[in-house]
Chains A and B, each alone.
Chain A
Amino acid sequence: AQTVTQSQPEMSVQEAETVTLSCTYDTSESDYYLFWYKQPPSRQMILVIRQEAYKQQNATENRFSVNFQKAAKSFSLKISDSQLGDAAMYFCAYRRGHNDMRFGAGTRLTVKP
């Protein structure tokens, strides 16, 4: 079974600085997708960024980018120029097939002014 591990239960960053959240996953598949979701205090899950496993180029969405290392099964999220609104729980997720979506336990990010 596929598993997703987020080894950092909590992280903090100074406003305007850069922070990297870690995620590793376990799979024997070669074709899959990876996602980062943000869950602010409202608890609404928001899709931040996604990566297709067959693409070597790392995905980027404005201040959010990923470092995808397929061989190492690593998928970290980098947040640049951190803002107070970035404070949230961040979940890494793996998807293979239409219905098999696995989530990590989450990393709580605090942004200090």
Chain B
Amino acid sequence: DGGITQSPKYLFRKEGQNVTLSCEQNLNHDAMYWYRQDPGQGLRLIYYSQIVNDFQKGDIAEGYSVSREKKESFPLTVTSAQKNPTAFYLCASSDPGQGVGQYFGPGTRLTVT
């Protein structure tokens, strides 16, 4: 079945540690996205990538980094520079074309203490 996988579902880290969230898709989509979701707020865009080896910052990129070495994979690293990293992180992908909705993975809940 085609879809997007994110692992792990729950992730715990100590403050000051970098952590990498995985996102894999087998939908053959060119574009991939990372969103952050906080309670009472909608999704906010962290980074996006339209093609392999290329990515752009979204609205809240500070403290995060990404890579896009393969079409299927778009990992997100939450660095120690991110001041409030505890959140729910969603990965999405889409075909080209603005009319196409984005398909989302199941998300990763990151807790940093």
A interface with B by C-beta (< 8 Å): 4, 9, 32-33, 35, 37, 42-47, 50, 52, 91, 93, 95-99, 101-106
Contact = CB atoms under 8 A, between A and B. Distances in A.
Contacts of B33: 99, 101
B103 to A, nearest CB: 8
Contacts of A4: 42
22 contacts: A32-B98, A33-B98, A37-B101, A43-B88, A43-B106, A44-B104, A44-B107, A45-B43, A46-B104, A50-B101, A91-B42, A93-B42, A95-B98, A98-B31, A99-B33, A99-B45, A102-B42, A103-B43, A105-B41, A105-B42, A106-B41, A106-B42
A99 B40 contact: no
Contacts of A105: 40-42
Contact of B99 (A50, A91, A93): A50
A109 to B, nearest CB: 15
Interface string B26-40: 000001010000001
B43 A91 contact: yes
Contacts, number: 57
B8 interface: no
A99 B50 contact: yes
Interface residues of B, number: 24
Contacts of B99: 33, 50, 52, 95
**A32, A42, A47: most-surrounded residue (chain B CB, <10 A):** A47
A23 B7 CA distance: 32
B66 interface: no
A4 B90 CA distance: 19
B18 interface: no
Nearest to A47: B101
